[in-house]
Amino acid sequence: MLEKKVTKYLKEHNLLQVGEKLLVGVSGGPDSLALLHFLQGTGSQFGYNIVVAHVDHMFRGEESYEDLLFVEKYCEEHSIVFEGTRINVNDYIDESGQSSQTAARTLRYRFYKEMMEKHGIQKLVLGHHGDDQIETILMRLTRGASGAARAGIPVKRPFEHGQIVRPFLAVEKQDILDYCGRHGLTPRLDPSNEKGSYSRNRFRLSVLPFLKRENIKAHEHFQRFSEELREDEELLLELTKSKMEGIWAKQSKLESAIHIKELMEMPNSLQRRAIQLILNYLYGENPESLTAKHTTQIKELFMNPDPSAELHFPKGLLVKKSYDFCMFSFLQTKPKTYYLKLEVPGETVLPNGYKIKAQYIKGSSCRNSNSTFLMPAHAASQPLIARTREDGDRMYLKGLHGSKKIKDIFINEKIPIEKRGTWPVVVDSSGEVLWVPSLRKSSREAENGDDQQIYIYLEYIKV
């Protein structure tokens, strides 16, 4: 039963203390409602003081507002302090350029932070469970994550001046649904969880059932893998940190330098982690688009026989090799021209601080704006290329007759001169201009999605 598993897990990991004040994130769905109900029950034994936080992201209009009212009513009936807010995440997406899921998470955790400060709370309790863990680990491995990121969701981690803890990682989704049934809970259900347009949903609907058929305890094995990998990673990082003093030649957030020879003399497993530590230091918090691929690129740069070479990384980081030194700098404001093959499916980071995310989809389950581009896969002359503007570039504009110079598009859209040199132009293998991200689309864009056809869907997103 869920109660025994979670109680044992709480003790093993020392997650909650007697009389502790807790902020519980509750969406109204089965996971978070079961978590709140469980904490209410154990709270009678351990004296937990609970505050509930709910965020309506306003993606589903009146339906998501009803989720907020549902959680508010539950808290009122059980004399629990409720803190709810409505945030128009779509407005933030347009402002930040983040994906819908990343933007929603950013704003949700910002609200959690505010509520912890308001109520003087040190622990944020969330309802992620064992199936979430499987999905997260597989998604990150598929994306090419490195280091501790491969371990998925941590049982507990620092958050602001406190911690996030996740007691339900010990159980699977079915345990939670059974718990809701036994206790007469009627959670709200989010229909977007069934949409195949979200990568997490595809793992949940297609991959998890297969794993559960292979081994009904798969979630337990993934959780053990997560915890062991995280422990191993912490030890290797400590070993790497002990050797970093001799590697730094100059250490500054804006401009740093290292001794290549000293780094390359370390064991291979420590070399990777040394590079990760350097990037962690420079970025503070790594962009989502930074993966194991970037670590590999830096190692290849070090092993390149040419004495001088450079790489352009997310958020304008220039990685430049010069003989026995490697410089890392955010001070470069004018990257050179580029010509990058788009990863389809995948993500391609551009030197201007943006990336192009490409995926194969069915139908029209996607955003439609100048920051997106949709075309039938069979009609795409691949590889697709993102490059800087070239003299004479023209594009046949969607909805208009004839072509227009890309230079004139920049002028009409009032793009500053300093940005035009790094603005991407997407072309196909024949050199035909398909799209100037965020500005204009060509007549090659599909008019409407057809559920019987496969499309290539491109998104231009700020890193």
For residues 43 and 185, state if they share a domain.
yes
* Residue 239 forms part of a structural domain: no
For residues 217 and 256, state if they share a domain.
no
Per-residue pLDDT of 24-54, as tens digits, reads 999 999 999 999 999 999 877 788 999 999 9
Residues 6+ apart with CB under 8 A from 384: 341, 342, 344, 358, 426, 427, 428, 429, 434, 456, 458
Q: Side chain identity at 138, as an amino acid letter?
A: L
Question: What is the CATH classification number for the domain harbouring 274?
Answer: 3.30.465.60
Residues in binding site for ATP: 27-32
pLDDT value at residue 334: 53
* Residue 334 forms part of a structural domain: no
Q: Which residue has the tokens 């955790």?
A: 109
* Cβ atoms 374, 455 nearer than 8 A: yes
Per-residue pLDDT of 185-216, as tens digits, reads 999 987 776 666 678 889 998 999 999 999 99
Q: Please tell me the number of Cα atoms within 13 Å of 244 on its side-chain side.
A: 19
pLDDT value at residue 143: 82
Q: Which residue has the tokens 């969330």?
A: 126
* Residue 120 forms part of a structural domain: yes
Which one, of 266, 264, 399, lies nearest residue 326 by Cα? 264
Domain residues for the domain of 397 are: 339-462
236 vs 421 pLDDT, higher one? 236
Residue 447 has pLDDT above 80, yes or no: no
The pair of structure tokens assigned to 157 is 């981690």
Q: Is 76 helix (H, G, I), strand (E, B) or coil?
A: helix
Query: What mean pLDDT do residues 429-446 have?
Result: 92
The beta strand positions in 251-399, using DSSP E, are 255-259, 308-313, 317-322, 325-329, 339-341, 346-349, 354-362, 372-376, 385-388, 394-396
* Cβ atoms 417, 346 nearer than 8 A: no
160 vs 365 pLDDT, higher one? 160
Per-residue pLDDT of 136-165, as tens digits, reads 999 989 888 778 889 999 999 999 889 999
* Residue 257 forms part of a structural domain: yes
Domain boundary among 329, 358, 379: 329
Count of domains for the chain: 3
For residues 265 and 325, state if they share a domain.
yes
Alpha carbon distance 211, 215 (integer Å): 6
Beta-bridge partner residues of 313: 317
Q: What is the pTM of this model?
A: 0.68
Query: What mean pLDDT do residues 399-427 have?
Result: 87
Per-residue pLDDT of 290-310, as tens digits, reads 777 888 999 999 998 888 888
Residue 99 has pLDDT above 90, yes or no: no
Residues in binding site: 27-32
